[in-house]
Amino acid sequence: MALYYDEPIEIVGGKGSRVTDADGRSYLDFFAGIVTNTLGYDLAEVREAVERQLRTGVVHTSTLYLMRGQVELAEKIARLSGIDDAKVFFTNSGTEANETALLLATYARKSNQILAMRQSYHGRSFGAISVTGNRTWKNNALSPLSVYFLHGGDRHLPQFRGLSDEDYITVCVEDLRHTLATVTAGDVAAVIAEPIQGVGGYTCPPDGLYAAYQEVLAEQGILFIADEVQTGWGRTGQSFWGIQNHGVTPDMMTFAKGLGNGFAIGGLVARRELMDSLHATGLSTFGGNPISTAAANATLDYILDHDLQANAAKVGGQIIDGLREAAARMPYVTEVRGKGLMFAIELTEPELAARMLEETKARGLLIGKGGLYGNTLRMAPPLTLTEDEGREGLGILVDALEAIA
């Protein structure tokens, strides 16, 4: 089990942006479970939608039968995707969604060659782990794919710090062209990329990087898979999908985590001809089951009705500004980065990140950790976070940063 704390926290209750542990201590949850509780805990609209479905007596039917809630959800996601004539396939997790996308891409292009990003994380299955660019998680022993890793998610690394955004994009596009011309056999199926890398430490490529990539990819008919498992649903504040921050409409997008507000659901939205090319997208026994789709429909409606993308931009922007101001006097903070309610504090040492987890826990705040070297704190609070809660969390983060000085 991956536990962040010296003593594990057992969460037994939750309401709004707060959870309670078995000892009765309350915490403000700045990691939304694990980027899952988009609307926080125990929101009436989601609870009631699930209860309504439970009362019908139908927990599960499978795709052998028409599921009204699944169709409604698919139509909403297809419309929101911006992909022309899109179709949606539901899974139980982000891993399965990415595995399906890779399956479709390799089948459609009759090639097992995939481009992926250094420092990426896409899941635990054979395909998804093969396109993961982080040693901690990798296991390529029997990979079915030939994968070539690109720069683009590593803007924060010391060797790139001095570059302007424009120069960094130029370096990355040269790297892409060089990779295609040298180590690939020239018939690459797809690129898969997280618009902001999640496990990698919320590293933000400059806006426009993926548009520059897509120009090169389009010349060779290479498909673009955007992994929106962490960046979808307005979390970045700037756009509804993270990839839209780059002005890119991908061929496929994968999603999971926050869609069901804690209920397990993931999926893939893709151009119809790709989706229809393979029977593998015909059936997932539990994918898009009536309980999860009830939760997901309620979650998605709430996000749109309450314009939570705008809330993410406002409250997230305030926290990021506050952190940057405080970090300016803290030499052990190498960078504060992020967009909307997806932001990170990178520290000089992994030990400092471990201490921050204990210091914030002691002050009643839950946060996440990540980055290539475990030296980055990741925050992704519920999109319903209020300005007051934002100020409270910011205050705790700054206090804790001072305490580890």
CB 4 within 8 A of CB 368: yes
CB 204 within 8 A of CB 155: yes
How many Å apart are CA 348 and CA 352, to the nearest integer? 8
Stretch that binds ligand PLP, among 55-63, 184-192, 212-220, 224-232 (CB under 6 A): 224-232
121 contributes a contact to ligand PLP by CB under 6 A: yes
User: Which residue's entry shows tokens 């922007």?
Assistant: 317
The partner residues of 345 in beta bridges, in order of sequence, read 336, 377
How many Å apart are CA 363 and CA 338, to the nearest integer? 23
- Position among 16, 123, 288, 382 found at the interface with ligand PLP (CB under 6 A): 123
In whole angstroms, the minimum distance from the beta carbon of 55 to ligand PLP comes to 28
* Window 150-179: contact mask with ligand PLP (x via CB under 6 A): ------------------------------
Our CB check for ligand PLP shows the closer of 98 and 119 to be: 98
Q: Dmax of the chain from CA atoms?
A: 60
- Strand 113-117 to 190-193 pairing: parallel
262 contributes a contact to ligand PLP by CB under 6 A: no
- Number of residues in the chain: 405
In whole angstroms, the minimum distance from the beta carbon of 311 to ligand PLP comes to 22
How many Å apart are CA 305 and CA 340, to the nearest integer? 18
Our CB check for ligand PLP shows the closer of 16 and 255 to be: 255
Helices (H), ranges, 156-242: 165-182, 209-219
Stretch that binds ligand PLP, among 119-127, 183-191, 211-219, 267-275 (CB under 6 A): 119-127
* Window 175-214: contact mask with ligand PLP (x via CB under 6 A): -------------------x---xx---------------
Question: Which amino acid type is present at position 95?
Answer: T
CA–centroid distance for 386 within its chain: 21
* Window 65-104: contact mask with ligand PLP (x via CB under 6 A): ----------------------------xxx--x------
CB 253 within 8 A of CB 210: no
- Position among 29, 99, 154, 227 found at the interface with ligand PLP (CB under 6 A): 227
- Position among 256, 259, 269, 300 found at the interface with ligand PLP (CB under 6 A): 256
Our CB check for ligand PLP shows the closer of 253 and 300 to be: 253
Our CB check for ligand PLP shows the closer of 206 and 258 to be: 258
In whole angstroms, the minimum distance from the beta carbon of 18 to ligand PLP comes to 23
Residue 114: C-alpha distances to residues 103, 108, 192, 281 (Å): 11, 13, 8, 20
In whole angstroms, the minimum distance from the beta carbon of 101 to ligand PLP comes to 10
Site size for ligand PLP (CB under 6 A): 15
CB 273 within 8 A of CB 249: no
In whole angstroms, the minimum distance from the beta carbon of 85 to ligand PLP comes to 25
Q: Which residues, at least 6 apart from 335, have a Cβ–Cβ distance to it below 8 Å?
A: 156, 327, 344, 345, 346
Residue nearest to ligand PLP (CB): 94
Our CB check for ligand PLP shows the closer of 95 and 244 to be: 95
Neighbours of 142 (CB within 10 A): 7
Our CB check for ligand PLP shows the closer of 126 and 391 to be: 126
In whole angstroms, the minimum distance from the beta carbon of 94 to ligand PLP comes to 2
How many Å apart are CA 305 and CA 286, to the nearest integer? 28
Neighbours of 68 (CB within 10 A): 10
122 contributes a contact to ligand PLP by CB under 6 A: yes
3-state helix, strand and coil shares in percent for the chain, rounded to the nearest 5: 40, 20, 40
Stretch that binds ligand PLP, among 6-14, 49-57, 226-234, 369-377 (CB under 6 A): 226-234
Q: How many CA atoms lie within 13 A of 337 on its CB side?
A: 21
Stretch that binds ligand PLP, among 17-25, 116-124, 150-158, 210-218 (CB under 6 A): 116-124
CB 362 within 8 A of CB 13: no
Which spans of this chain sit near ligand PLP (rule: CB under 6 A)?
93-95, 98, 121-123, 194, 198-199, 227, 229-230, 256, 266
